[in-house]
Amino acid sequence: EAAAAAVPRVGVVVYILKGKSVLLGRRLSSSGDSSHATFALPGGHLEFGESFEECGVREVKEETGLDIEKTEFLTATNNPFVNDPKPSHYVVIFMRAVLSDPLQQPQNLEPSKCGGWDWYDWDDLPSPLFWPLEKMVKSGFNPFPV
Ligand code: 8DG
Ligand code: MG
Ligand code: MG
């Protein structure tokens, strides 16, 4: 039943850029999950009828309370989590954005899912990063405008 129903889903995640920093939060997923206790970007599932920009803005607001602008597409990756206890597979859309009000601070609005949000210098990222993020960073990907 699980195999027949299993389909890739679409995730939209956002690099919120503030100076040289990005916003990351520690995921409170279940202990066997490959994202357990790793640092990841805010984001979530694309809803029916939504644009990538709308989804990024909505998920950031739901998870952090932050209002963002200049939300734009960066890249997409294919992320199979087939060895997790609950196998899943995401095509993940990576966006970037900046704060509408640079003084606004993140709130942890989903404390059952996240240990808290904080800004991390791009040259001094925390560890462990969620593996799709780790892979991007190691490949030399940089979300900042040139
Ligand atoms: P929702 O109910 O609010 O729509 O979903 P969510 O609970 O916020 O979903 P999520 O797990 O935060 O994001 C969906 C999937 O996107 C996640 O299970 C795996 C994939 N994903 C990555 N990299 C990242 C990342 O850096 N951050 C987030 N949040 N998700 C990511 O592959
Ligand atoms: Mg969410
Ligand atoms: Mg999320």
Q: For the chain, what is the mean pLDDT?
A: 96
- As for the ipTM of the complex, it is 0.98
What pairing do the DSSP bridges indicate for beta strands 88-99 and 9-18? parallel
- Let me know: does 133 contact 27? Beta carbons within 8 Å: no
Distance 46 CA to ligand 1 centre (A): 10
pLDDT tens-digit profile of 50-81? 999 999 999 999 999 999 999 999 999 999 99
d(CA 21, CA 14): 13
pTM for the whole structure: 0.96
For ligand 1, whether the C-beta of 56 sits within 6 Å is no
Backbone angles phi, psi at 48, to 5 degrees: -55, 125
d(CA 138, CA 142): 10
Residues linked to residue 76 through DSSP beta bridges, in sequence order: 93
pLDDT tens-digit profile of 17-44? 999 999 999 999 999 899 999 999 999 9
Ligand that comes closest to the CA of residue 11: 1
For ligand 1, whether the C-beta of 41 sits within 6 Å is yes
Identify the sign of the CA torsion 83, 112, 77, 136. Answer: negative
- Site to probe by mutation for ligand 1, drawn from 33, 35, 96 as the one with most ligand atoms within 8 Å of Cβ, is 35
